[in-house]
Structure 1
Amino acid sequence: MIQVAVFVSPQTVCSSLSQTCDAFSLANRLAGQRLFALHRFSVDGQPVTLDYAQIQVDGDLASAESATLIVLPAAGSDIDTLLAQHTRLLAWLARRPPTQQLASLCSAAFLLAAAGLLDGGPATTHWALADNFRQRFPKVQLDERALLSQQHNRFCSGGAQAGLDLCLHLIGWHAGPWLAQRVAAALVVERHRGLQSRFQPLLPEARQDDAGISALLIWLQQHHAQTLDLEQLAARLHCSTRSLLRRFKAATGLTPIDYLQRLRISAAQGALHQPQPSLEQVALAVGYQDRATFARLFKQLCGETPGAFRRRVLER
């Protein structure tokens, strides 16, 4: 029997905790036998109060030392508080043997990294936390595009629902892909969903401290299909192209042309949620005269072709 120890703390995200426990419990039921023994633990063995419930646990840190697999559910986005309030856990994690499997869901990757368990290997976390992660842990090979990662017995998953992808992966790892597929079917989710980057917004959230740039972004939303160049955009702001580039990059993190391309592809994504119009018509409607250029940029930004994107969203 596989001993699965699931960590609980005041920072634990309720949905991540329940998702983990539900996935392994469902695997037991569908297998017709208890393949996975679930064990909830906290730092001191005391119950933990979360936003929506008080969680009873089965023991403290020492009680999880013999577990085959330790799972750290997501723990929110306040990383400073997360690391400051888990010093005992971090020291305990650092002592885990290489043979013990450790899995982090979403932001819990920061705990594995802070314990020095991800250095030199691949990892992932929620795409919105990627910059923070890289600044803190430059020795880790972070790929925020990935839904999950594995380095020997160290596993990570991306944001939110990617935790379920990792649970399915671990069920398949221990009990076979047939059971992982049955669990996925029962939960009405796809396995092998591709890259996390498919869910990342194409357009960055812009700063609001430059009124001219804010007004220009609104104008671009309405006129992105037109043929535009830097001189035209600078003229709208009554400034030089150099000033435009500086102000635009400060507000969005992108050049005006990069932002325009992302705006067009984002508009194309919306259009592709319908079976019509054709791909050529979509390309023209968002500002591309050449379908090949449109398809190349779409795949570059979205990780899949326009046709594959349309098939996927229409099959939901």
Structure 2
Amino acid sequence: MIRVALFVCPQTVCSSLAMADDAFRLANQLAGEPLFQVQRFSRNGLPVDIGMAEIRVDGGLPLAEAADLVLLTATGVAVEQTLASNSELLPWLAARPDTQQLASLCSSAFLLAASGRLDGRRATTHWVLAPAFRKRYPQVRLEPDALLTEDGNLFCSGGAQAGLDLCLHLIAWHGGHWLAQRVAGALVFDLERGLQSRFAPLLPAAGKEDPQIGPLLRWLQRHLDEPLDLDALAARGHCSSRTLLRRFKTATGLTPNAYLQRLRISAAQTALRNPARSLEQVAAQVGYADRATFAKLFKQLCGETPGAFRRRLRSHL
């Protein structure tokens, strides 16, 4: 029997804890035998108040030391508070033997990284937290596009539902792919869902702080299928092309051309929901003269081809 220990602290996200617990217990049910022994632990072995509920645990750190898999459930976006509140956990994580599997869901990757266990290793976390993670832990090989990473006995997942991707991966690791497939089917969930970048918004929410850039963004939205004329755009903003480039980058983090490409691909995602339109028609609608250029940029920004995107939409109907 595989012993799974789920870490609980005051910052634990309730849905993350419940999701992980449900996945492994459902695996036992569908396997017809108790493959996984699922237990909860806290630093001191006492119940933990997570705000909406008090979570009972089965023990403290000694219990988790005997586990085959220690899983740190998501801890939310208050990273500084989580690290300060769980400082005693860090040396304990650092001392775990290489034979013990350690896994983090979403933001708890910060705990695993703070312990030093991820130095030089592959990891991921929620795409929103990726810049802060990379700045804090430059020695970690962060892959923010990945839904999950595996490096030896170290596992990480991206945001929210990516935690279920990782749980299914671990179920497959210990119980076989067939069991992970059955658990995914019971939960009406796709296995191997691709890249986390598919879920990140293509366009930044920007322009409000610059009264001249905001109207230009709205103009581009209405004329996204037209070629970009930087001088004409600068004239609309009543500034020079050089000034426009500087202010546009400050407001959006992108050049006007990069913003336009993301704007076009975002519009294409909407257009692809209409099965009556061919890929060539969608490409032309958003300003691309040929399908190949459109498909290449779509995959670059979305992590999948336009055809794969459309097939995935149909599979959920």
Q: What's the TM-score, normalizing by structure 2? A: 0.98
Change in Cα spacing, 1:207 to 1:87, as seen in structure 2 (3 Å) is: farther
Residue 34 (structure 1) shift: 0.9
- 1:130 is matched with which residue? 130
1:16 aligns with 2:16: yes
Aligned partner of 2:90 in structure 1 is: 90
**1:238 alignment partner in structure 2:** 238
Are the equivalent residues in 1 in contact too, given 2:207–2:213 (CA < 8 A)?
Answer: no
Find the counterpart in structure 1 of residue 48 from structure 2: 48
Q: How many pairs are equivalent?
A: 316
Quick check: 1:109 aligned with 2:109? Answer: yes
Contact 1:16 1:163 (C-alpha < 8 Å) held by counterparts? yes
CA offset at residue 228 of structure 1? 2.2
| Residue matched to 1:279 | 279
Report SS of the residue matched to 2:182.
helix
Task: Say which is worse superposed, 101-110 or 292-301, in terms of deviation.
Answer: 292-301
Q: Give the distance between the partners of 1:274 and 1:314, measured in 2 at CA.
A: 10
SS at match of 1:211: coil
- Tell which deviates more after alignment, 260-269 or 297-306: 297-306
Match of 1:198 in 2: 198
1:259-294 per-residue CA deviation (whole Å, 9 max, x = no partner) reads 000000000001101212111111111111222211
Alignment of 1:296-307 (within 5 A): 296-307=296-307
Task: Say if 1:14 and 1:51, in contact at 8 Å, map to a contact too.
Answer: no
What letter matches 1:108 in structure 2? S
Counterparts of 1:195 and 1:5 in 2: how far apart (Å)?
27
The aligned runs of 1:62-211 (5 Å cut-off) are: 62-211=62-211
Q: Percent identity?
A: 66
3-state SS, counterpart of residue 216 of structure 1: helix
Q: Secondary structure at the match of 1:80?
A: helix
Question: What amino acid does structure 2 have at the position aligned with 1:75?
Answer: T
Tell me the distance in 2 between the aligned counterparts of 1:238 and 1:58: 66
2:82 is paired with a residue whose SS is helix
What secondary structure does 2:9 align onto? coil
For residues 305 and 191 of structure 2, what CA distance do their matches in structure 1 show?
20
Counterpart amino acid of 1:86?
N
Distance 1:21 1:266 in 2: 36
User: Which residue identity lines up with residue 11 of structure 1 in the other structure?
Assistant: Q
1:39 & 1:49 partners in 2: Cα distance? Answer: 17
**Gap regions ≥5 residues in structure 2:** none
The RMSD of aligned alpha carbons is 1.0
The alignment's TM-score, normalised by the length of structure 1, stands at 0.98
- For 2:295, the equivalent position in structure 1 comes to 295
Q: How far does residue 124 in structure 1 lie from its aligned partner after superposition?
A: 0.6
Amino acid at match of 2:148: L
8 Å CA contact retained: 2:207, 2:217: no
Aligned residue for 2:261? 261
